[in-house]
Amino acid sequence: MSKNPTIEIFLRVRPTKKPFNGLSLNLEDKKVDIQIPKDSTRGYVNNKKEDYSFMFNNIFGMEAKQNEIFDNVAKDVIDSALEGYNGTIFAYGQTGSGKTFTMSGGAERYADRGMVPRTISYIFDETKKRTDTVYKIAISYMEIYNNDGYDLLDENHTNKNLANLQKIIPREFENGNLVLGGLSVHKAETEDQALNLLFIGDTNRVVSETPKNDCSTRSHCIFIVQIEGTKADGKKTIARLYLVDLSGFSSERVRKTEVDASFLTEAKSINRSLHYLEQVIICQNKKNAGEKIHVPYRNSLMTKVLKHSLIGNSKTRMIATISAEKDDLDESISTCRFAQRVALLQTKLLKNEALDRELIRDKLKKEEAATETPF
């Protein structure tokens, strides 16, 4: 396994009855072309034809099913996590482009399950098959709303307003490790227990209606699975899997959303946090190219949390979601450009392996007892 892999990027196009004929997908070459003719009117007179081409590790058209997305994007990352490698999958795109459907899924059909519930099922199926390893699974679920972190599994969600809930406090140590104070960790011994934790967290998420989406998530959400595996020889691995659904408000212009003033604080916060994320990626790519430049990871909670996913010890993949409609061209192009920048980043993939001293001690005692000569 490569020690310094680049982040893989994937594109998914949301189904629509009115696809723009200037957007074409080349699934074989894994390329999307966007051609804007001169007579295109997007609120202004366009006298210059514009052509855009973007390459991805894989592209999923409007007919792609949820299981296809999971098999191609997530399965390999989960297999690595079961072997002790950290992993991250994050979705990015404008509101209404299908991010939350891709990550969480739809409620009407079992086949519409998203990446997160499918990940849970796959993990527990695999742990049953791997009889040479004893696994322990733990779940955390956080959201970042207006740049503050909250525990989605906090029991007080049912009887307190968000403003009165305890905030997650990030603490960064000299070795670069980040601890999220106030984020609870819940053991999940069965698939049902893990799915129930996901359901509780999803119920507590901040959502609201916008003209682009009847149920738009208003916060960035990170579902964290900790996988601890111990083999008979005492070798132990601990990996963390981050499944991230970024809010998409900033991918579309506020003027298009037609929201009232009560949503402006949310919109500005989401815009700002995703702007910081893009700024971090641009600066990091310049630094990797040899420029002496500060990378502002501390500008927002989200960039602090995702730092290790972008340049640290993680096998990271991004799925960009776009709309094929003409009115969403600007946002679709912006999303594709963002993905191209992400694809330049390199992580440092290392196996999180150690020896379980207590297990080895018990094993040695048993061996010693078995070899003792009786009097």
- For 151-162, the pLDDT digits (tens) are 999 988 877 788
Q: What is the pLDDT of residue 373?
A: 46
- Who's near 358: CB < 8 A, 6+ residues apart? none
Helices (H), 62-190: 66-69, 75-82, 99-103, 115-129
Determine the Cα angle at 280 with ends 183 and 287, to 5°. 130
Question: Higher model confidence: residue 270 or residue 13?
Answer: 13
The answer to whether residue 304 sits within a structural domain is no
| Sign of the CA dihedral running 117, 119, 125, 131 | negative
pLDDT bracket for residue 251 (50, 70, 90): very low
Residue 258 has pLDDT above 60, yes or no: no
Tens digits of per-residue pLDDT, 287-315? 999 999 999 999 999 999 999 999 999 99
Nearest to 24 by CA among 59, 68, 72, 69: 59
Q: What is the pLDDT of residue 232?
A: 86
The answer to whether residue 274 sits within a structural domain is no
Q: What is the pLDDT of residue 40?
A: 52
Q: Are 138 and 188 in contact (CB under 8 A)?
A: yes
First vs last Cα of the chain: how many Å apart? 53
The answer to whether residue 160 sits within a structural domain is yes
Q: What is the pLDDT of residue 369?
A: 54
126-149 mean pLDDT: 95
Nearest to 140 by CA among 130, 132, 150: 150
Strand 315-323 and strand 8-14: the pairing is: parallel
As for how many domains the chain has, the answer is: 1
Report which residue type is found at 48: K
**CATH code, domain carrying 63:** 3.40.850.10
Q: What is the pLDDT of residue 149?
A: 94
Rounded to whole angstroms, how far apart are CA atoms 177 and 173? 5
Q: What is the mean pLDDT of the chain?
A: 86
200-222 mean pLDDT: 70
Helix (H) or strand (E) holding 152: none
The answer to whether residue 360 sits within a structural domain is yes
Rounded to whole angstroms, how far apart are CA atoms 3 and 312? 11
Tokens of 131: 């009889």
The answer to whether residue 226 sits within a structural domain is yes
Grouping H, G, I as helix, E, B as strand and the rest as coil, residue 40 is coil
Tens digits of per-residue pLDDT, 67-102? 999 999 999 999 999 999 999 999 999 988 999 999
Tell me the CA distances in angstroms from 371 to 42, 310, 363, one per residue in order.
Answer: 83, 51, 13
Rounded to whole angstroms, how far apart are CA atoms 293 and 297? 12
Q: Are 78 and 119 in contact (CB under 8 A)?
A: yes
Write out the residue range of the structural domain in which residue 122 sits: 8-269+317-341+351-371
Residue 256 has pLDDT above 80, yes or no: no
Strand order in the sheet with 50-55: 23-26, 31-36, 50-55
Rounded to whole angstroms, how far apart are CA atoms 147 and 104? 22
Residue 362 has pLDDT above 50, yes or no: yes
The answer to whether residue 282 sits within a structural domain is no
The answer to whether residue 278 sits within a structural domain is no
DSSP string, 224-241: EEEEEEEETTSEEEEEEE
Tokens of 104: 């969480």
Grouping H, G, I as helix, E, B as strand and the rest as coil, residue 156 is helix
181-194 mean pLDDT: 97
2-16 mean pLDDT: 88
146: phi > 0 → left, psi -120 to 50 → alpha, else beta; which? Answer: left
The pLDDT > 70 percentage for the chain reads: 83
Question: Higher model confidence: residue 299 or residue 375?
Answer: 299
Task: Return the axis-axis angle of helices 264-288 and 329-342, rounded to nearest 10°.
Answer: 40
Grouping H, G, I as helix, E, B as strand and the rest as coil, residue 47 is coil
The answer to whether residue 69 sits within a structural domain is yes
| pTM summary value | 0.88
